[in-house]
Amino acid sequence: MKRTIALVCVVASSMAVAAPIDRRALVGRHNPHLKAVDVWAPLSVGNGQFCFTADVTGLQTFPDHYGSKGIALETQARWSWHEDPNPNGYQLADANRDYTAHGKTVGYPTIMDTPAAQWLRTNPHVWPLGQLGLRRGDGSALALEDIRNIDQQLDMWKGVLTSRYTIDGQPVSVVTAVSPGQDTLAVRVSSPLLANGKLLVRLALPRGYNMAVKYNPPLDWSQPASHTTRVTVQNLRTLALEHTRDAARYSVVLYSANGIAVTTPEPHAFHIAPARGPTLDFTLSYAPGRIGKTADVAAVLAQSAAHWQAFWRSGAAIDFSGSTDPRAAELERRVVLSQYLTAIQFGGDMPPQESGLTTTTWYGKNHTEMLWWHTAHFALWGRPQYLENALRWYQKTLPVAREIAVSRGLQGARWPKMTSPQGRESPGGNPLIVWNQPHVIHLAEILYRSAPTPQTLERYRELVFATAEAMASMLHWDGSRYVLGPPLWIAQEIYDPAGSMNPGYELSYWATGLAIAQQWRARLGLTPDADWEKKRLQISALPQKDGKYVALESMPDTWDNPASRHDHPSFLMSLGQLPGAGVDRAVMRRTLDAVLADWDFKAKIWGWDYPMIAMTAARLDAPQLAVDVLLKTDGPNNGYTAAGHNPNTDLPVYLPGNSALLAAVAMMAGGWDGAPSRPAPGFPQDSGWVVRAEGFQPLP
């Protein structure tokens, strides 16, 4: 049967089992509500594959101000990509550097300073969609000080953003929402300024991004002749466009049942006004191909409301409202907003970039080492379809992963790290990262726990077995045990990959992944794989020194060298994200205490590290410590904006922090294999926390 925590549980010694959580009230008390411009809190509407991010006007009226001082205002779809021409025919092997280890030499594409490497790294890249903002009736830009009496609220229960303010003393109201089933934005602008021609909406299609910028590149409005916007239909109700650049193309349809007046002040830009009256209603649809019939604004608003009410009523929920700990309300706010932000950006047909569909980092590519942290929480919260979307992409690119394995002398499928939609990896240190490899197995197991059926086993068996085959063939016998690496780049990305061997977290993940793969063979009526079993049982012990775990056997300097105590304390994940293969719990507890005492949280630690550390504390039955770490305030990357975003160093939007928070809370509320037999075992029982939780699935 399906293993979920379906009842409501209360963690408080003096309280009885409570009624089901009022989910509408839970969501509603955390709806973002802005009364002033906040460049760190633009608000977004989206459907998982398509997202529109707005400033306080409800549109994208002040992109330069927000982009230069906070979070950019963009419209993105996960299907929208562009690739520069490749007249030199660059191939991935052109970036190869040879590494010799264990008696063989293998080329990995780690060169970054050649034209071939730069082209391969930056291509393909995500291609932004149109920018939509308000202008004065003569086409001139509004000034920020023109917007007064701001009252903006995102209703997450309906997925509708309502923005009210005044311009020149006149009221303006803007309502925006996105269709759940089509990449369509609905917009309703109401103001007397529209009726007298003093306000209009501007749609402009950028060339792309300035790809010389790695993080948060600005939109590129240069070289208007290098791309084409062709009007295919223009009449009283419809403006249809085709936008092309090189071989990339997408379609745009703007439709208004009440009629529009359109002018074209410059290439790639369109001014939209109502045909008459004080209201401009329209839908704006995007697609990589032909766009069929589109819904009107009223229909999209209704569809959005139905979709989001179903979303919030599905799966799990957690309520801290009865708690006396002063941090409880903030944790609840982060949890609710993180559910919304991941749902509007992580449902596409390719796993997300780390900034989702809000801004762009690493050229929009998927970093597969973050797959678990991006998607595991969906299944733990009882919404496995979002995780299933991600694994469908892995099924699609399995042939590419098999080719990579062959090129490196491996069996099965070796998953790339920083990838294009087609699965081609990118040059740099990426190909030497290995902790992305077992994710597919662990996530498939989480899905099996959601639906333990023969159909689930058949759906993912090829992924599980091909991944395990590669993992087994990546281990090498050194005469007394199996070792992992070199070369490899461990999760704590500070060590030289050329000499790195036996990182603790990765060794534990290898043992866990191979054990799960063997369980899948047994469930399918197959005999154990003898090679996997031999290697699982004879894999190297997790490296430790002076009674504490260290990051790496080949460089065990974690507790000797202060310079090695920053970035991810990844060895903690062996008992936290993972169930603890090879872990001595007493050693892990000493290691956890040492991390909290001596790690450099102020130099560079990432937003997802805090939830990860909390998961280790929870598995060590230290729930108060887990909560304290989850809400730790002495580092630079554990804050959450009014919109719910978790900015990290150089990254205004960093969604691994949000999704890891959800994974940790799910584990702390729903438990894990072998958890103490009490409700919400990862939360304190008697220190001001009242936890009402329902619908969670335990973590393996």
- Cα separation, 259 vs 245, in Å, equals 30
Q: In this structure, are 248 and 277 located in the same domain?
A: yes
- Cα separation, 21 vs 12, in Å, equals 16
Let me know: does 502 contact 554? Beta carbons within 8 Å.
yes
Q: In this structure, are 465 and 554 located in the same domain?
A: yes
Q: Which of 310, 325, 343 is the last residue of a domain?
A: 310
Which residue range is the domain that position 295 belongs to?
A: 47-84+123-310
Has residue 103 been placed in a domain? no
Alpha helices in 599-695 (DSSP H): 609-619, 623-630, 655-670
Cis peptide before 487 (omega within 30 of 0): yes
**Tokens, residue 677:** 């037999």
- Cα separation, 550 vs 556, in Å, equals 6
Has residue 106 been placed in a domain? no
Q: Which long-range contacts (CB under 8 A, 24 or more apart) does 256-265 make?
A: 256/280, 256/281, 256/282, 256/283, 257/281, 257/296, 257/297, 260/236, 262/234, 264/231, 265/139
For the chain, how many structural domains are there in total? 2
Q: In this structure, are 583 and 687 located in the same domain?
A: yes
Q: In this structure, are 277 and 400 located in the same domain?
A: no
Q: Is 448 helix (H, G, I), strand (E, B) or coil?
A: helix
**Tokens, residue 187:** 């917009």
* Pairing outcome for strands 199-204 and 548-549: unpaired
CATH number at residue 419: 1.50.10.10
Q: Which of 291, 310, 329 is the last residue of a domain?
A: 310
Q: In this structure, are 272 and 414 located in the same domain?
A: no
Has residue 89 been placed in a domain? no
Has residue 33 been placed in a domain? no
pTM score, whole prediction:
0.96
Taking CA atoms, 494 is separated from 144, 400, 491, 557, 602, in Å, by 43, 29, 9, 12, 16
Q: In this structure, are 406 and 332 located in the same domain?
A: yes
Helix-strand-coil split of the chain, %, nearest 5: 35, 25, 45
Give the model's pLDDT for residue 17. Answer: 52
Has residue 37 been placed in a domain? no
- Cα separation, 698 vs 673, in Å, equals 7
Q: In this structure, are 300 and 382 located in the same domain?
A: no
Could you count the other beta carbons within 10 Å of the beta carbon of residue 320? 23
Has residue 91 been placed in a domain? no
Give the model's pLDDT for residue 598. Answer: 95
CATH number at residue 203: 2.70.98.40
Q: In this structure, are 319 and 297 located in the same domain?
A: no
CA neighbours within 13 Å on the CB side: how many for 365?
Answer: 26
Has residue 29 been placed in a domain? no
Q: Which of 246, 275, 310 is the last residue of a domain?
A: 310
- Cα separation, 251 vs 149, in Å, equals 37
- Cα separation, 510 vs 467, in Å, equals 11
pLDDT tens digits along 547-578:
999 999 999 999 999 999 999 999 999 999 99
Q: Which long-range contacts (CB under 8 A, 24 or more apart) does 216-220 make?
A: 216/67, 216/72, 216/355, 216/359, 216/360, 216/361, 216/651, 216/652, 217/360, 218/67, 218/72, 219/63, 219/74, 219/128, 219/131
What backbone phi and psi angles, to 5 degrees, belong to 74? -140, 165
- Cα separation, 576 vs 599, in Å, equals 18
Q: In this structure, are 278 and 238 located in the same domain?
A: yes
- Give Cα 621 distance to the centre of its chain: 29
Across the chain, mean pLDDT equals 95
List, as one string, the DSSP characters of 284-325.
EEEESS-------HHHHHHHHHHHHHHHHHSS-EEE-TT--S
Q: Would you give the end-to-end CA distance of the chain in angstroms?
A: 15
Give the model's pLDDT for residue 213. Answer: 86
**Tokens, residue 153:** 């609220």
Q: In this structure, are 189 and 278 located in the same domain?
A: yes
Q: In this structure, are 330 and 304 located in the same domain?
A: no
Let me know: does 279 contact 188? Beta carbons within 8 Å.
yes
- Cα separation, 175 vs 162, in Å, equals 5
Could you count the other beta carbons within 10 Å of the beta carbon of residue 686? 10
Has residue 455 been placed in a domain? yes
- Residues in the chain with pLDDT values less than 50: 1-16
Residue-wise over 439-459: b if at least 16 C-beta within 10 A, else e?
bbbbbbbbbbbbeeeeebbeb
Q: In this structure, are 198 and 316 located in the same domain?
A: no
Let me know: does 5 contact 607? Beta carbons within 8 Å.
no
- Cα separation, 84 vs 124, in Å, equals 7
